Structure 1
């Protein structure tokens, strides 16, 4: 559970809003570290996982592997748009995150970290 190091304090305080924010920021930092690209958000994801990817999460040879890779790229964009950006730009009082929502979101982030564990840098 790589995400835990980014949001342990917030989780122990039941601060789900900031736990989700910190876990998302940690995921995007890991992508920067693996790719050596210093962009952020959607721009980072598009450059690293686009049609001419820097990182691949599988062999990226077959149509199915490319579809899976593109789906992973879209999942990361979704995390950014749906959870990272609102928590970074909206007041906590206006954007409530329940414990169940936080656990579900952190599960998705954990899955993304696991896929990055085997990512290959190809350029």
Structure 2
């Protein structure tokens, strides 16, 4: 269970923030590690834009993304 009660982009931006993250991909001491953290956060945010937002804000007939399509988008 998370202590964060937000979702979507706000959740990823908060959870994976470089300054004070809830989840860190490394020690975040070097600029390379900070870039990896930012990259992971941005990839997760892209999934929100490409999959979650489309299915949440479109009629099911227009925005239905099945599991195979979602996996294809993430890979």
Same fold at TM > 0.5 = yes
Give the Cα–Cα distance (whole angstroms) in 1 for the partners of residues 68 and 62 of structure 2.
18
How far off its partner does 1:63 sit?
1.3
Aligned Cα RMSD in Å? 2.3
Q: TM-score, normalised by structure 2?
A: 0.77
1:46 aligns with 2:31: no
Higher normalized helix content (fraction of residues):
1
Q: How many residues align?
A: 74
Q: Which runs of 4+ in 1 moved over 2 A?
A: 95-103
By relative contact order (CA 8 Å, sep 6+), the higher-ranking structure is 1
Q: Which runs of 5+ in 2 are unaligned?
A: none
In structure 2, how many angstroms separate the alpha carbons of the residues matched to 1:70 and 1:88?
25
Q: 1:66 aligns with which of 20, 34, 48?
A: 34
